Amino acid sequence: MTSKEFLTIIKKEANPTDYKRYLKQLNYKKITSDEKLAVFEVPNRYLASWIKSKYKPLIQHCFEIYDGTKPHIEIKITGEKKSKKEIISEKAKNEATESTILNPSYTFDSFVVGSSNQMAYNASLAVSEKPGVQYNPLFIYGGTGLGKTHLLQAIGNDAIEKGKTVIYVTIEQFMNDFTFSIKNKNMEHFRGKYRKCDVLLIDDIQFLSGKEQTQEEFFHTFNELHNAKKQIVMTSDRLPSQIAGLVDRLKSRFEWGLTADIQMPGLETKIAIIEKKSELNGINLSREIVNYIATNLDNSIREIEGVLIKLNASASLLNQEINLELAQSLLKEQIREKKENIKLPDIISLVANELNIKPSDIKSKKRTATVANARRVVIYLARELTHNSMPDIAKFLGMKDHSSISKNIQKTNKLIETDENFKLIIQNLKNKIIH
Ligand code: ADP
Ligand code: MG
């Protein structure tokens, strides 16, 4: 088979967008004489890893169609044997001009809209229709696993489709890129890359917290892009004003445009999402099972998705239909496993970190409002998420008796009912511990 013949076959088999954007770049090099290994080349490592994770079986299938063989597939990067220096400079060049590779399944079409995410969805759509015009920056915030990255990449996928240069990075990648460029005295390249794109998508910006040098650099990137009317979209697990250790000039800039939140969806939307996800993954679920999952899981969509995948896997392993009993036993197992894995010290260190106090304060006798509040949150989460009894928790926190534990829990329950912000904080912490 020639490389051209291969492309003709895969074009028919693959999703057209994936083909046009990525698979077309596959260069079929050779097959070993025993037909066991087929080697392909692609221009860069992002493409290689994306194709490897998504398309290996289909590539194999193309060989089957062609001549009935089923070789292993190897995907190399063109010219991989070059010196390190060459690779670095090539990587720099590629990254400066090419858009980032995004998950192609994160589109607006595959996103289910409900009241919990309507505003974020509408704003994202508006931004992708007219980048840099209406809401700049767009700041999307909400708990883990609720669709922030999905929407962010949907904007990116759409913009790439329209021929824009898009950069999608987590703030951690931005930071690494920045440090790497300083070390290699290559700031010019770094700035060229980030200050010349049409759409800059930054995921999980809350991790800018306390990173002063990166904040300084990001400040300039932001200004340059904003002045040039280029679109900036950021996601975060909290509002700009709640990101501790973020300089004020960034806080205020992040609120210049629009801030839109995503909440945990209500039952109806959850059901619609489960239906959509199972359809996309070719999983067949009865209404009863969909309802069961929707009513029993309410931490994040990511968790729901995980359950669907596990459910499908166990059904095919056991060679049986997915039925309610299977779903029930899986969920029970999942909840039990989680509880066994979460330990009290983990809860303390997470809460201390998130609420910006010392872990040792939580176990101390201090009674300042901040510490008392943090302690209350720890107690609540310990009861909700672990198997520890009230006396266990009291002992661990160095409290005299466990009646104060139950008082604390009552108080927390009241706060959750009356204080939206507090509820959000608790929900966020819960998500973080579970994932
Ligand atoms: P976050 O970035 O907020 O932590 P993600 O965007 O990674 O969350 O979402 C987790 C998973 O849930 C993804 O697979 C995403 O496709 C899915 N998801 C979340 N919200 C929706 C939605 N409204 N419709 C469809 N899928 C969703
Ligand atoms: Mg995310």
| SS3 per-residue string spanning 72-85 | EEEEEECCCCCCHH
Residue 107 lies in a domain: no
Q: Which residue has the tokens 């095919």?
A: 316
For the segment 31-42, what is each residue's pLDDT rounded down to a tens digit? 888 888 899 998
Query: In whole numbers, what is the pLDDT of the chain averaged over residues?
Result: 89
Q: Are residues 257 and 272 in the same domain?
A: no
Of 284, 311, 340, the position where a domain reaches its end is: 340
Residue 108 lies in a domain: no
Residue 412 lies in a domain: yes
- pLDDT at residue 318 greater than cutoff 90: no
Q: Which domain holds residue 397?
A: 344-434
Q: DSSP letter string over 243-269?
A: -TT--HHHHHHHTSSEEEEE----HHH
Q: DSSP letter string over 326-394?
A: HHHHHHHHHHHHHHHH--HHHHHHHHHHHTTS-HHHHTS----HHHHHHHHHHHHHHHHHS---HHHHH
Helix residue ranges per DSSP H, 130-261: 148-161, 171-183, 187-195, 212-227, 248-254
For the segment 204-263, what is each residue's pLDDT rounded down to a tens digit? 999 999 899 999 999 999 999 999 999 999 999 999 999 989 999 999 999 999 999 999
Is the peptide bond between 43 and the residue preceding it cis, with omega within 30 degrees of 0? no
Band of pLDDT at residue 89, cut at 50, 70 and 90: low
Cα 132 to middle of ligand 1, angstroms: 24
Nearest-angstrom CA–CA distance, 396 and 401:
11
Q: Are residues 56 and 148 in the same domain?
A: no
Q: Are residues 126 and 255 in the same domain?
A: yes
Beta strands 72-77 and 166-170: pairing type? unpaired
- Domains identified in the chain, total number: 4
Greatest alpha-carbon pair distance for the chain in Å reads 77
Residue 411 lies in a domain: yes
101/381: higher pLDDT: 381
CATH classification at residue 244: 3.40.50.300
CATH classification at residue 301: 1.10.8.60
Q: Are residues 250 and 127 in the same domain?
A: yes
Of 281, 316, 340, the position where a domain reaches its end is: 340
Predicted structure pTM score: 0.67
CATH classification at residue 419: 1.10.1750.10
- pLDDT at residue 274 greater than cutoff 90: yes
Q: Is residue 150 in contact with ligand 1, taking CB distance under 6 Å?
A: yes
- Alpha carbon nearest to ligand 1 atom 25, residue: 111
Q: Are residues 53 and 127 in the same domain?
A: no
Pairs from 239-243 (Cβ < 8 Å, separation ≥ 24):
239/141, 240/139, 243/205, 243/206, 243/208, 243/209
Q: Is residue 149 in contact with ligand 1, taking CB distance under 6 Å?
A: yes
Find the mean pLDDT for residues 3-16: 93
Residue of 117, 238, 301, 435 with the most ligand 1 atoms within 8 Å of its CB, for mutation: 301
Nearest to 126 by CA among 231, 216, 51: 231
Band of pLDDT at residue 97, cut at 50, 70 and 90: very low
Of 262, 282, 316, the position where a domain reaches its end is: 262
Give the SS3 label for residue 135.
Answer: coil
Q: Are residues 235 and 130 in the same domain?
A: yes
